[in-house]
Amino acid sequence: MILSLPVITPRLLLKKESLNDFERFFFMSKDSDAMQYIGDGSIYHWTKKVAYKKFRARLARQDNNKPKNLAVYTKEKNLYIGWCGIRYSKFLAHIELGYSYCTDAWHNGYATEAASAILTEIYRLTDIDPIMACTHPKNIASIHVLEKLGFAYTSSKLSRASGLNIPVYRIDRKAYEKTITAKI
């Protein structure tokens, strides 16, 4: 594992994904609001049984020495609220920051808090640099998260899944350190 786990923030606990996360992950994946800006915007079409099998297989394939997604829990209620992490993106052909949250966790600043913790740890423990991110062009909340973190728009790339030009953002170690220093 390239990160020291768990990653702890004032309100969140980020830890290795596990089968315990499946119920809320599946709930999020069936929520049309949560999925509207992911891929082509459709909810998971799989049955719960098929989704569980795929989720379990994905967990089994994870390499502990590679970047990956972490389960995000609230410390107060010990509740899975989504995932955040970095991983290699075939779409961007680069390491990418990504995240997705259950709608009942939206508008609390959790996405920014978790992503900031991930970036801090990645830049502290690895030489990964820069990190890319992309989001649906209508996902204003996600765009704001990226901007708060210090990501800068670089270009757009056509997504076959959505048929849209997806804005691509980039951050490097120096820009992130500058963003963090400005907040202190």
pLDDT 10s digits, 75-120: 999 999 999 999 999 999 999 999 999 999 999 999 999 999 999 9
Q: Considering only 61-75, 116-130, 164-178, which range has the smallest mean pLDDT?
A: 61-75
The torsion of the CA quartet 118, 112, 172, 133, rounded to 10 degrees, works out to 100
Sign of the alpha-carbon dihedral angle for 56, 166, 42, 143: positive
User: What is the value of pTM for the model shown?
Assistant: 0.90
Query: Is position 135 within any domain?
Result: yes
Burial zone of 2 (CB within 10 Å; 0-12 exposed, 13-18 middle, 19+ buried)? middle
Query: Is position 105 within any domain?
Result: yes
CATH label of the domain that carries residue 23: 3.40.630.30
Parent domain of 87:
7-183
Number of domains in the chain: 1
Query: Is position 159 within any domain?
Result: yes
Query: Is position 1 within any domain?
Result: no
Query: Is position 2 within any domain?
Result: no
Query: Is position 27 within any domain?
Result: yes
pLDDT on residue 4? 78
